[in-house]
Amino acid sequence: MSAGNSPAPAAARPYRPPAPLPRTKPLSKLGFMVALRENPISTWGIWNFENPITTGRTALGPMTGVSSPEGIRHVMVDNVGNYVKDRLQLRVLKPGLGTGLLTAEGESWKAARRTLAPLFAPRTVETFVGTMQAKAGAMVARLQAQPLGARVNISDEMTRVTFEILTDTLFSDAVDGTSQEFGEAFTRYFENQGKISPLDMLNAPDWIPRFNRYRAQPAINFFEEKVRQIIARRRALLATPGAAVPRDILTLLLEAADPETGVGLSEAEVGANIVTFLGAGHETTANALSWTLFLLAKHPAAQSAVAREAREAENLALVDWLDNLPMTRAVIEEAMRLYPPAPTLSRMALAEDEIQGVRVAAGSTVIISPYVVHRHRSLWSEPDYFRPERFLPPARDQIDRYAFIPFGAGPRVCIGQRFAMHEAVIVLATLMRHFGFAMPKGESVMPLQRITLRPSPRLEMLLQRADAAG
């Protein structure tokens, strides 16, 4: 049994947020393909949320779903050398993201991870806190220009603030393009490429055209063009004697050299990493923040508690955010439990393996779904309910490391985890100091998996005075 499992106090009325109901009967092969294409999280059956390991033959071939902390640890840590990113995942991600850190394997992954790690070290991330605060402040100023009661597109606002933070910190403002342009390109890419084609499910050869890829192509062209511009400008700066060159992700990528061979990253690898960081680095956090605000709108007591904590922490020293706003952090973590921005992680087994007594064939797919694990009946009490107190200390310490995996685990754990948590806490606290949020009457959203897990339709909320919710 994992943490946060003591029953809710009678006074606290937990809220059950929207999600597809787990299926009670297995889908036919065709039904599975249709549901997978429409919304992959709707394919899960109740048995997935009840058993540690499930096996089956789907339209995608033999598949093992691993949802126990012990099994997850086996795949992601103890026997990690036996598991690589699987074919379908690469087919979805590679056309746009190329071979960047997220999709690379073996030595090229190791070299890239080593090169980029210093940029995400705790001490470096702390130097970004000032920028995170400034961009969150600019968002507050934008919203203050709106009348109270105005309807605000929260999905757009969160995309904008996270994009601005990312480009200012990791790219030193070298990205030429607005959050709206990039936001639209990533949405178009995820929307089309993230809709899994039946041809991909059937492992049809790459030369057979896929309609969804055709529709994703303008976004891919946009990325290529932007990347060319970004690299050319930075190369020019590096070649200018005496120019002040920022030690950011671009410089690290362009100067990276393997210590053994001295070989640097190819032009394609540099470009792939730029798009990867732009893609992986803001959509995910923007979705986490959008879901958090939605849940707070539905739970006024939690909203008041976060607002109070944020106001009390007004004079916090710059680097102290993450550890001194426990309620703010807890609601973000509870939102990522219910709506993990990366809801499905998948791998292919290189050699035959055994996980908790279950045989895994060589070449078969292993799915670890944070969405399923985070709502698993044997790991959480009231798994489908919003109960942020699970993540408040000391209850939080009881949560099994492998029962809460929004950022993955093991050597391929999200490199931007600390960056994202700092950012999310700062943006949420800054917002909640100034505003309250409510859902327009009669409106709701559902989680839709398109690579990331986002609210559908895009989230619009009503702006209120900061204390209105309390």
CB of 89 to ligand HEM, least distance (A): 7
Complex with ligand HEM: residue 159 or 304, whichever CB lies closer? 159
SS (H, E, C) 270-284: HHHHHHHHHHHHHHH
Q: How many CB atoms lie within 10 A of CB 162?
A: 27
CB of 243 to ligand HEM, least distance (A): 25
CB of 329 to ligand HEM, least distance (A): 12
CB of 214 to ligand HEM, least distance (A): 26
DSSP-assigned states of every residue in 80-109: GGGEEE-HHHHHHHHHHH-SSTTT--HHHH
Q: How far is CA 81 from CA 28, 208, 409, in A?
A: 34, 32, 14
CB of 102 to ligand HEM, least distance (A): 4
Using the rule CB under 6 A, give the single segment among 199-207, 215-223, 272-280, 427-435 that binds ligand HEM.
272-280
Complex with ligand HEM: residue 201 or 345, whichever CB lies closer? 345
DSSP secondary structure letter of residue 147: P
Give the residue at shortest CB distance from ligand HEM: 416
Q: For residue 195, give both structure tokens.
A: 């809709």
- For the CA atoms of 456, 460, 465, 467, the dihedral, rounded to the nearest 10 degrees, stands at -10
CB of 389 to ligand HEM, least distance (A): 21
Complex with ligand HEM: residue 295 or 345, whichever CB lies closer? 345
CB of 370 to ligand HEM, least distance (A): 7
Query: What is the H or E stretch that residue 53 is in?
Result: strand 53-58
Nearest of 360, 392, 457, 405 to residue 68 by alpha carbon: 405
Using the rule CB under 6 A, give the single segment among 58-66, 126-134, 189-197, 273-281 that binds ligand HEM.
273-281
Q: How far is CA 394 from CA 94, 283, 375, 397, in A?
A: 42, 31, 21, 6
Complex with ligand HEM: residue 101 or 310, whichever CB lies closer? 101
Q: For residue 331, give both structure tokens.
A: 């609601």
Q: Does 285 bind ligand HEM (CB under 6 A)?
A: yes
CB of 306 to ligand HEM, least distance (A): 17
Which positions ≥6 away from 344 have C-beta within 8 Å?
Answer: 40, 367, 368, 369, 370, 371, 449
CB of 415 to ligand HEM, least distance (A): 5
138 burial (CB, 10 Å; 0-12 / 13-18 / 19+) is: middle
- Number of chain positions touching ligand HEM (CB under 6 A): 23
The residues in 401-440 that bind ligand HEM, with binding defined as CB under 6 A, are 406-408, 412, 414-416, 419-420
Query: What is the H or E stretch that residue 462 is in?
Result: strand 460-465
Q: For residue 19, give both structure tokens.
A: 């999600």
Tell me phi and psi for residue 168, to 5 degrees. Answer: -70, -40
Using the rule CB under 6 A, give the single segment among 12-20, 261-269, 322-330, 341-349 that binds ligand HEM.
341-349
Site mask for ligand HEM (CB under 6 A), range 145-174, x = bound? ---------------------x--------
The residues in 209-238 that bind ligand HEM, with binding defined as CB under 6 A, are none
CB of 271 to ligand HEM, least distance (A): 14
Complex with ligand HEM: residue 113 or 458, whichever CB lies closer? 113
Is-contact 261 124, C-beta < 8 A? no
Using the rule CB under 6 A, give the single segment among 122-130, 141-149, 179-187, 274-282 that binds ligand HEM.
274-282
DSSP-assigned states of every residue in 11-48: T---B----PPPBSSPPPHHHHHHHHHH-GGGG-BGGG
CB of 281 to ligand HEM, least distance (A): 3
Q: Does 331 bind ligand HEM (CB under 6 A)?
A: no
Is-contact 112 98, C-beta < 8 A? no
| From candidates 174, 256, 288, 367, binder to ligand HEM by CB under 6 A | 288
CB of 363 to ligand HEM, least distance (A): 18
| From candidates 341, 343, 388, 436, binder to ligand HEM by CB under 6 A | 341
The residues in 54-113 that bind ligand HEM, with binding defined as CB under 6 A, are 101-102, 113
Complex with ligand HEM: residue 109 or 386, whichever CB lies closer? 109
Supply the Cα-derived Rg of the chain in whole angstroms: 22
Cα gap 310→287, rounded to integer Å: 21
Using the rule CB under 6 A, give the single segment among 49-57, 150-158, 260-268, 276-284 that binds ligand HEM.
276-284
Nearest of 169, 177, 185, 45 to residue 419 by alpha carbon: 169
Tell me phi and psi for residue 325, to 5 degrees. Answer: -125, 65
Q: Does 276 bind ligand HEM (CB under 6 A)?
A: yes
Q: Which residues are near ligand HEM by CB under 6 A? A: 101-102, 113, 166, 276-277, 280-281, 284-285, 288, 341-342, 345, 406-408, 412, 414-416, 419-420
